[in-house]
Structure 1
């Protein structure tokens, strides 16, 4: 499926999704946190802090801070890699999967409401 949006439509969609998140008192994720969260849920595991930092071209402390916040919300979990204790594995949670699914549904609903 190919969807064509003009820049103003894309930005309006982004604004409407963001406003819905604010109004619904959803988790207040930064753009970095959202990028990390979507990487965890939309790309196949395993996910390590080191690997995600390289993939997203940010430092490991950026990933760690994002995971600290999202872990507090129950959206992700972290465990030491039993095979290599230097690595920390980032795991999906049921709560996180439901959050990402709801966010996807919200984007679809807001996109359907856009004037074309």
Structure 2
């Protein structure tokens, strides 16, 4: 299924989702944090700091800082890879799954409100 939006509609959708997030009670994530979180929840695991840094084309410290914030919010957790102690595995959490599901619901709801 493909949804065709004009650029102005796509921007309006993004604006409406952003406004809903800012007005809501959910944690206020940066664009980068949200991109990392969605990658963790939408792409199949395993996820590592190194792998996320490569995928998002940022440094490992950038990923680590974002994960610090998201870890404090219990959206993700980090564990040493038992097979290679140099790697840090990023794990999904119940709180994070609920955040992503709710975020998806907001996107769907706001897209339904778009004028045709």
TM bucket (normalised to shorter chain) is: over 0.9
Is 1:94 matched with 2:94?
yes
Offset, 1:26? 1.8
Is 1:103 matched with 2:115?
no
TM-score for the superposition, normalised by structure 2 = 0.98
Q: Which has the higher strand share?
A: 2
TM-score for the superposition, normalised by structure 1 = 0.98
Please list every run of at least 4 consecutive aligned residues from structure 1 whose deviation after the TM superposition is greater than 3 angstroms. none
Q: CA separation in 2, counterparts of 1:2 and 1:36? A: 24
Consecutive unaligned residues in structure 2, runs of 5 or more: none
How far does the alpha carbon of each residue in 1:3-56 deviate from its partner, in whole angstroms, 9 at most, with x for none?
000111101100101111111132111111011000100000000000110111
What SS does the aligned partner of 1:29 have?
A: coil
Is 1:30 matched with 2:30?
yes
Q: CA separation in 2, counterparts of 1:22 and 1:34? A: 13
Partner of 1:71: 71
Is 1:47 matched with 2:36?
no
Q: CA separation in 1, counterparts of 2:95 and 2:27? A: 12
